[in-house]
Structure 1
Amino acid sequence: MASNTPSPEAPFDAFGGGAAPAAPGTEWNPTEDTLRAQNRSGGRHRVVKQRSNFARSSTVLGVGVIAAVGAGGLATAQEKPPVAISLPDLPDLHLPDAHDLPGVGDLLPDEASADTASDADLVAAEARSNPNPLTAATYTTPDDEQGGTAERATQAATGTADAGEALRARILQQAEQQQASADAAEKAAAEKAAAEKAAAEAAAKAEAAEKAAAEAKAKAEAEAKAKAEEEARAKAEAERLAQLAASYSMPLSSYSLSATYMQSGSMWSSGYHTGLDFAAPTGTPLKAVHGATVKSAGWSGSYGYRIVLELEDGTEVWYCHLSSMTVGVGQTVGTGETIGRVGATGNVTGAHLHMEVHTPGGSGIDPAEWLRSKGLSL
């Protein structure tokens, strides 16, 4: 069976360095010297430095760690310290210098800063440009870890101090608020107590004033009532006396009082006067003071001629020292009727009417008061 054998091909210049093709059937095995010679023989081409596979792998690994932390909770990931990812030093891999590779050195930049910049620096720059904690990885070195630990300790101490100061300020603020509330409550209670006391005092004063006014009113009403009652009694008495006066009469129309009741003197055998004397000329008519019955009419010793009228209630009225009598015993007389005349008979010193008033029991009373009680004026 025929087979198609591939024709020998020139070695593939993967780096574009322009190396001479190897002879057919030989293996192209570049060495460090050949690479340097080739690099010196050919011109360098400037290209933008690309990230190495190790840098990209590290970035992916860091992103995976941050993503894992984010999956557990963003708050937890933020509280934990950055994840340290260590990369092996490139010289330990015994790789040739990139500047010595055929067709590569010419493409690298000449700046020392660019030649010495590590892939970790590029990844760190990218991480700083991307602040998202879920897509950024942190690369730390032992020195960085030690410095970071000290810095975190300082920050923790500072944060603790700040938290303590904030707590103290909050406690003081709460205490001040509570004190202010207590002061306000105490002030309100004092004001309320003062208001209640003032209201109680005002109510007590008002009650006392009202009580005093009520007492004064009651007293005034009582006085007015008493006065009205007194006036009513006086009016009733006046009416009664007016009625009595209509039925009673004075014994003489014209007279003068010459002796009063119980007046003392040697002229009377008892040492005092037992009646009321009306001085008048002999022959002056005498009238019956009220309707009555003639109980006696005649001579009575020292009284001279005497007429005794007995009223309906048993009261006796004596008319003494008469000059003449016009009525007899048992006769009924009316008020104002003439029953005799003034004289000077008996034990007298001149013409007059000696009048006495005796109660139904026989006791003598003041004739002037008795006449006044009947509404008569002397």
Structure 2
Amino acid sequence: MASNKPAPEAPSPFSTDSYGGAERSVGEWNPTEDSIRPVRGRHRVAKQRGLARSSTVLGVGVIAAVGAGGMATAQDKAPVSISLPDSLADNLPDAKSLPGVGAFMSDGAEAAPVAPLTTAGLTSAEAEQGTDAGEALRARILQQAEQQQASADAEAKAAAEKAAAEKAAEEAKKQQDEAEADAAAKKKAAEEAAKKKAEEERLAKLAASFSLPASSYTISSTYGQSGAMWSSGQHTGLDFAGAAGSPLKAVHSGTITSAGWSGSYGYRTVLQLDDGTEIWYAHQSSIDVSVGQKVTTGETIGRMGATGNVTGVHLHMEVRTAGGSAMDPMAWLNSKGLSV
């Protein structure tokens, strides 16, 4: 048995020599507060003679439990009986020669005091104030939770503000689009009104320079009307029925290019306007102008009658282009601002 065997204790039922030696009793080594000095930082064990051949070094485990009450310290454990056979103990290496173990050994010098476990993790200010480690840890956890909650609230607030800004921008854009559409509609309406007014002014100005061929009349036949009375099968002019001898007027200023008898048209006068358009006056009872004469708007050029191929007193008026094509006299008169 090793020369530094512990103090005798009650016999252990497990003291029989497993290597064939005689049964012998061994004591138990029970470390006490006096035999182990408190150390700070690393666990240090005072140097003892023959420690390399002694029992294994007993470590102390510490379990930290965090709760509302604080941090619990390690409690004393029941003594444990440890023994080694001499044959094995004699061959153990010196403890100081083991890597990392020699640093824990001392030559009996007094070890520095170790801080109590209840102050583990405390700052110097907290330690001076006597703050409990468990309460300090609990406060830090609560502070961290509050910071995380504040961060989450800030993110939620930022997201809400962003959504509100986007909604406000969308609403503003919608209002702007509506305003632009309304402005465009008003502008278009104003342009159309201005265009209409300009057309009315133009027609009024034209009307001042154009005149209807008769003052008192009734429209008896229109342009394009079908019937056997017309050699082409269709009416090529506009008929103004009225009293015989009623004056017929020049619709616009121009030059007389034809004046006389013209077969089925009876007495006919042709007035050529400055743009080449020709106005035919047919079935007159008399002609008051001659070829080459210049006339002005509203000037009398003949009288209403019933000469030629007719069924009654009327003016047969035709409007032809410079190329000789016939057109609707009523539409032409309307384009000059005149209502037939």
TM-score strictly above 0.5: yes
2:314 equivalent in structure 1: 352
Alignment of 1:165-244 (within 5 A): 165=118, 167=120, 172-244=134-206
How far does residue 275 in structure 1 lie from its aligned partner after superposition?
Answer: 1.3
1:59-138 alignment, distance < 5 Å: none
Q: Letter of the aligned partner of 2:186 in structure 1? A: A
Deviation string for 1:245-283 (max 9, x for gaps)?
Answer: 111111111111111122223332222221111111211
Instruction: Indicate if the aligned counterparts of 2:118 and 2:133 stay in contact, CA closer than 8 A.
Output: no
The gaps in structure 1 that reach 5 residues or longer are 1-149
Q: Distance in 2 between matches of 1:214 and 1:187?
A: 40
- Structure showing greater Rg: 1
Cα distance between partner residues in 2 of 1:363 and 1:178: 105
Answer yes or no: is 1:300 the counterpart of 2:250: no
- By how many angstroms is 1:171 displaced? 5.4
Structure with a larger share of its residues in strand: 2
Q: What count of residue pairs does the alignment treat as equivalent?
A: 230
Change (3 A) 1:292 1:192: same
What is the rounded CA distance, in whole Å, between the counterparts of 1:171 and 1:371 in structure 2? 110
Between the aligned residues of both structures, percent identity stands at 52
Q: Which has the higher helix share?
A: 1
Instruction: Supply the distance in 2 between the matched residues of 1:342 and 1:259 (Cα, whole angstroms).
Output: 16
The CA RMSD over aligned residues, in Å, is: 2.9
Q: Which amino acid aligns with 1:298?
A: G
Change (3 A) 1:168 1:334: closer
Q: TM-score scaled to structure 1, two decimals? A: 0.55
Q: Which residue of 1 aligns with 2:9?
A: none
The code of the aligned residue for 2:317 comes to M
Q: 1:189 to 1:245 in 2, by over 3 A?
A: same
> Is 1:334 matched with 2:296?
yes
Are the structure 2 counterparts of residues 367 and 154 from structure 1 closer, same or farther at C-alpha, using a change threshold of 3 Å?
same
Letter in 2 for 1:263: Q
Residue matched to 1:321: 283
- Structure 2 counterpart of 1:283: 245
Q: Which secondary structure state, in structure 1, belongs to the residue aligned with residue 167 of structure 2?
A: helix
User: Counterpart of 1:368?
Assistant: 330
Tell me, in whole angstroms, the C-alpha distance in 1 between the residues paired with 2:324 and 2:333. 18
Query: What letter is aligned with 1:257?
Result: I
What secondary structure sits across from 1:269 in the alignment? coil
